[in-house]
Structure 1
Amino acid sequence: MTEISSKYLIGPSTGGDGLTRVVTGRDHTGAVQDISVVEERPLTIFLNGQEIVTAMTIGDYPEYLALGFLRNQGMLALDETVLGVDFDEELETVVVRTDGGTVYEEKLKKKTRTSGCAVGTVFGDMMEGLDQVVLPQVQVRTSWLYSLAHQINQTPSLYLAAGAIHGSVLCQEDRPLVYMEDVGRHNAVDKIAGWMLSEKATAGDKIMYTTGRLTSEMVIKCALMGIPVLASRSGFTAWGVEIAQTVGLTLIGRMRGKRFMCLSGADRLIWDADLDAVADDTGKRRSKDD
């Protein structure tokens, strides 16, 4: 790990810990070459005695993933007490136990396949609860955004080691705090939600940075988590922008080098960055629609 990545409360993996596997192939010249590829494994999430979903994941932080998924699906109420989170590596299951009942048969009948990588799934009405969201009118300096992008893009990560993965980073002002990766950007955000729930972390003073597309799913998750700012190197979907404008979330995309686009919530921004001092984008590139 570099000095940058050591500053995270939770930093990304760089491989070598069971999250990647070495595979032998041939390159464009026909030469034999070994490369690292990301592992995928199923994780079945139970809430009390009810099976909820089986997610494909890289396998790190399964407890956070389970907690965050259930919270973001509206299956863990804010006033509900989590009594325990038990992960069984052999059975590839996580059981979340609470002091409340679990009756979600009707909600589980209505599934939406989202645009997330690894096929995200949302149960029930995707828009449920959004009409009650009130995001704080915090101020965000553009100098923070440039600093965050530089730090995150320079951090050794599983993506840089093996590719085929997305990252999401919880930030506060110009400090990246928790960096999670997974085959689906929705999983990475759910892990952060689980960490926030476990640590009782506040949301109103946070920024979410993601390497993935700014879709409806990503906007909805951040809004329901209470995070007022969502930023990405990648682009937008029209519905994602529309929802962000409706709930008053600051949505910033196409952050590369000196450039970015804010399509919602620009009133939160303080334009204090000296663009002459902002470095050009020289990191490993993803496509604009990653």
Structure 2
Amino acid sequence: MTTATAKTAAPPAILVQGIEKSFKDVQVLRGVDFEVTPGSIFALLGSNGAGKTTLVRILSTLLTADGGTATVEGIDVAADPQRVRESISLTGQFAAVDEVLTGRENLVLVAKLRHLKNPGAVADDLLARFNLTDAGARRAATYSGGMRRRLDIAMSLIDNPPIIFLDEPTTGLDPQARIEVWQTVKHLAAGGTTVLLTTQYLDEAEQLADRIAILHQGRIIVNGSLTELKQLLPPAEVEYVEKQPTLEDVFLTLVGDHDADNTARGSADTDK
């Protein structure tokens, strides 16, 4: 007689049940429910004013919900906010870097604030992970938008929090910088970090998320994988149409070729 051992499913990294929030007479969240699997990317998709940032601020203990419950790593965000803060990191809509300091100095500062041993080694490791080593000695004010955002995310990962909240991380970035941030987010999830991402960009959710929840007028109206969401609509009738390149294809091809030419010319000048 063989006894089968049932595998116990891992508890959700984030569990949200019936969360409500109002500001005076405006009800922003009207009973939000969802859960996030550990090590996955969960995208909260919605238009401006849908309540995405409000929900993230509740989960990160910056706001108190009017109703419902939420747990992060099994910890109630209202009952024990300090323990929640020890398990998370929050990256807001705008990069919170000190532009007077160099990239490395920003990282060292945060490592010291977290009372980590050898903050210089921590900073060097993160600069390498985020392809910023060559720019580490430069002031953050000289960084491009994508580099500044990568530095911001690197600062959020000091002390390896298991959960990171990214609130519209690519707002205002150019196409190349957006792709850099996307690659960073994918790398985080591949390393086991749970990512809750808010965005208003459909392509961003499509590129990154394991599951997508659409928040509309304070409620989750649909929640599922990209495949599951696509099945909500009937398949379109297929006709042969010659595919035209998108503007993004044109931009990245031209800019990529231009950068390659500049690199080649720089190498030739060095050889001289």
Q: TM-score, normalised by structure 1?
A: 0.29
Higher RCO (C-alpha under 8 Å, 6+ residues apart): 2
Structure 1 or 2: more strand by fraction: 1
Q: Looking at CA atoms only, which structure, 1 or 2, has the larger radius of gyration?
A: 2
Q: Say which structure is richer in helix.
A: 2
